[in-house]
Structure 1
Amino acid sequence: MAIGGSVLSCFCLFPFSVSRKDKSQSSGRSSSFRLSNSEEVDRISSLPDEVICHILSFIPTKEVVTTSVLSTRWRTLWTSVLALDFEDNWPCFFNTNFASIVGSILDQRRAKSINRLCIHNHNKSFSIELIGTLVSTAVAQNLQELDLFCYYYLEVTLPNILFTCKTISILKLSFGSTINLNGVSSIHLPSLKVLHLYLLYLADDEPVMRFFSGCPILEELCYEEVKSNNSTSFKICMPLLKKLHLKCHDKRVQIVTPSLEYLQVQETKVCDTLVCNLPNLIKTHVDIYFDKCEQEYVSKLFNGIHHTNFLELSTYTTEVLADSSFGFPEFHNLVHLKLCLSTIDYCFLIQLMLTKCPKLQILDIDKVYEESAERKRTLPTTPVPKLS
């Protein structure tokens, strides 16, 4: 099935041509838009092929293919685009199926490399075999970015060639099912800088530990809702990591990342997060909860992040602090503090924070809910630190 001339091409046409047939209608516009006679201006088609292909790389492949009907020049331009962005809402005609459409696109491509492969599957249009074929094809063509968002599978096994790809720099995996890494013999991703793991289920923690150790220059990690049957603690030990987003409920995670500049701990029990000293921290978002018997972990967490320049504390976190009785550390670099409060009774917490932040310049207070209109607002008596 030749996609370039198929009925699929009629589904999305781009307004690349601008008609200028009535000079009087443009009299109020800049002179640069006025034309002396009736003609069509097609500025996009005047661009070099490389520029047009770069523009097309930011839209889904379905729309890219349909540009083949615009003109003779555009008929094969889509075959040189370096990105493949597949969604599962493609229309199918004449007894064709989704797999045959994808296969036809791969067969007609002229580009010898794939910079980005994005697969978003909501309705199980992609079979496991088709996903494996696409990933293997992309890796063999110097893949740089992979984004897999696939559900409705009991278990997903990715091709081994992905985990030794020398060119991939961005990897995002979201499955909502069990991902099988036990059969992966080797994990070495020397160019990987961004790793997002979301809604994954692992048989145990050992494969993800091997995953981390196989990414020597990783700079950004999003580890969200990754679950396993093994409840033992493990370390996120990455010397070059600069950005970490952590949302974890079922295991204790120790963060050993001395180069970390951005930290977001979201909806996480405080005893599950052991933060070592982070001397380069710039921006921190803390959203934690705890039991009263776990106050010692609150102290460890805040001692680990006390170098930060920006700090945002969620409503749950301010409740943790209000109910805690530990020695709050001094935030000697803190310039911007944002507090989300659930009650005005926490003004004493604001007072405490002000005394511990000598360089504070900006104080944001958000989401203050008064429990009673008759309650008298008590303002902190300690003055805001003066700017140096």
Structure 2
Amino acid sequence: MGHRDSISNLPDEILGKILSSLPTKLVASTSVLSKRWENLFRFVENLDFTDHPEPEFQPIPGHCFTSFMVTKFLKLIDPPCIKKFSLNCRYGDYDDVHTWIHTALERGCLELHLQCQSRRRSLDLKVFSNNTLVKLTLSNGIFIVDDFTLHEHPEEAGAFFPKLKSLSLDGVWMTGDFYELLLIENCPSLEDLNIRDQGYPITWKGYVSSASIKRLLVSVGKFEELYDEQCRRSVWFDAPTLVHLDYSCYVSSHYDVVDLDSLVEARLDIRLWEPTNTDGDSDLGDVTHLVAGLRNIKSLYLSPDSLEVFYLCCKSMPVFANLLRLSFESDKERGWQIVPLLLKRSPNLQTLLIKGLLHKVTNRCGDVCVCVPKKRKMMMMMEEENVSCLSTCRVKVLEISGYGGTCKELKQMRHFLGKLKYLETVKISLQIEKNDNYRQRVTNVLKKLPRLSSKCQIHFF
């Protein structure tokens, strides 16, 4: 008795859904299974064509695509079937890229992802202009060129994306100083904008202007020696509906923050330049306006570098009246000088998260930690008001990750528990490589530490 082929008896649309979850190279191979499967690829919704970066690479048969293969798939797919089209190849080796993109969009494509592995490829932005495209990703060596100018009506500008909600630009080259700005302004429904630029030279010009974006990620200049000097000059943010900001960059000389009043959450990794003179910190940058634009946020994350930037490059600190959650990461080469001021400027802070307690010993950490030398601490107590920033802090939840069980960390925990009078919950994530007996001793010592708050409970993870 033969085996019954239940899958082949499914409707074409259902089989198309199943094939859409498979790599396109495998989808192509199913056409030889039987006459029933010969044309089922016409119902595939997701197409992913990936080539190999090195010409001398000898691929497994059927593993890479050919120009004929892509053209055949796109022409035979039933419109409006295509939902996602991904192309990852050496664009310089193919002359039909514009045609492929145009055909995919004609077939109702909602998501378009383009990546160049080894060669820069010039593409006309007008080819992407589409009334249905929802997500667009351009990355790795794509060179966008166009001659349109901004008109009174954006749809007349030659490239208009009325329904685009997600735009990702990763190392994309663009002609014109304001090209990226014009592209963003021609996406009236844009909600997610991702800008990643880690190559050389940096192509991001330092501005983001959109009346609709809710989530913005900017990651620029991973290595200082590859960073464009022009990006030191100024950064401009104008995003009145922005809710989430993830910003990673070297500090700029000036920030123009027009409107970030809707911002709820911010993650900042801002790095210092090496000083170029010995006369002062004039070349370090200025984040005063950027920090002022964060005054309404509820959640703030700061990297170790950002802590130093806030301390060295911020002339005045606003009151974060809505801030409920503050998280920062420590580093042995970075200090906590700005932490006391942050706590004082956050009157309604509820949760404090610290990744790592070990940090650089300085004379400017105030009474937020125990690293200040005793003589210096005595002078500070005599000079300043004898009111601890921790004693006035209303933090109820303290989370410590990466706790290693050192004497310095234990002293810091004793300091926190003895000063935070509103504390209710302490969560400690241990990072101890020694045996279980040592871990148990560390937890027992922490549990026995005196606590100013009678409600404080300690939990370990």
TM-score, normalization: structure 2? 0.65
Equivalent residue, structure 1, for 2:166: 194
Map 1:126-137 onto structure 2 (within 5 A). 127-137=93-103
Matched, 1:298 2:287: yes
Aligned length: 343
Q: How far, CA to CA, are the matches of 1:54 and 1:104 in structure 2?
A: 19
Cα displacement (A) at 1:46: 6.6
1:28-55: CA deviation from partner (whole Å, max 9, x where unpaired): xxxxxxxxxx996877667544344234
Equivalent residue, structure 1, for 2:394: 385
Match of 1:351 among 325, 328, 340: 340
1:163-210: CA deviation from partner (whole Å, max 9, x where unpaired): 2x1111111111325332337961211111111111022332232232
CA contact (8 A) 1:151 1:177 kept: no
Q: How far, CA to CA, are the matches of 2:322 and 2:266 in structure 1?
A: 12
Map 1:251-270 onto structure 2 (within 5 A). 251=231, 252-270=234-252
Letter of the 2:146 counterpart: L
Equivalent residue, structure 2, for 1:98: 66
Matched, 1:66 2:18: no
Structure 1, unpaired ranges of 5+? 1-37
Letter of the 2:347 counterpart: P
Structure 2, unpaired ranges of 5+? 53-58, 150-156, 221-226, 274-280, 362-368, 373-387, 397-421, 423-461
Equivalent residue, structure 1, for 2:116: 150
Match of 2:46 among 83, 86, 91: 83
Greater shift, 361-370 or 41-50, is seen at 41-50
Matched, 1:286 2:268: yes
1:246-303: CA deviation from partner (whole Å, max 9, x where unpaired): 1345433311101000111112323364333412112111111345326773211110
TM-score, normalization: structure 1? 0.76
CA contact (8 A) 1:203 1:230 kept: no
1:46-94: CA deviation from partner (whole Å, max 9, x where unpaired): 754434423432332112223345565444322211221111157558x
Change (3 A) 1:302 1:371: closer
Equivalent residue, structure 1, for 2:327: 338
Equivalent residue, structure 2, for 1:360: 349
Q: How far, CA to CA, are the matches of 1:313 and 1:41 in structure 2?
A: 60
Cα displacement (A) at 1:367: 4.0
Map 1:13-32 onto structure 2 (within 5 A). none
Q: How far, CA to CA, are the matches of 2:346 and 2:3 in structure 1?
A: 63
Q: How far, CA to CA, are the matches of 1:100 and 1:39 in structure 2?
A: 37
Change (3 A) 1:371 1:65: same
Match of 1:57 among 14, 20, 26: 20
Cα displacement (A) at 1:217: 1.5
Q: CA RMSD in A?
A: 3.5
What's the % identity of the aligned pairs?
25
Matched, 1:182 2:153: no
Q: How far, CA to CA, are the matches of 1:75 and 1:101 in structure 2?
A: 15
Q: SS of the counterpart of 1:143?
A: coil
Greater shift, 363-372 or 312-321, is seen at 363-372
Higher relative contact order (CA 8 A, sep 6+): 1
Change (3 A) 1:277 1:341: farther
Q: How far, CA to CA, are the matches of 2:110 and 2:288 in structure 1?
A: 41
Map 1:94-243 onto structure 2 (within 5 A). 98-121=66-89, 124=90, 127-158=93-124, 160-163=126-129, 165-182=130-147, 186-225=158-197, 235-243=207-215
Letter of the 1:56 counterpart: L
Change (3 A) 1:230 1:309: closer
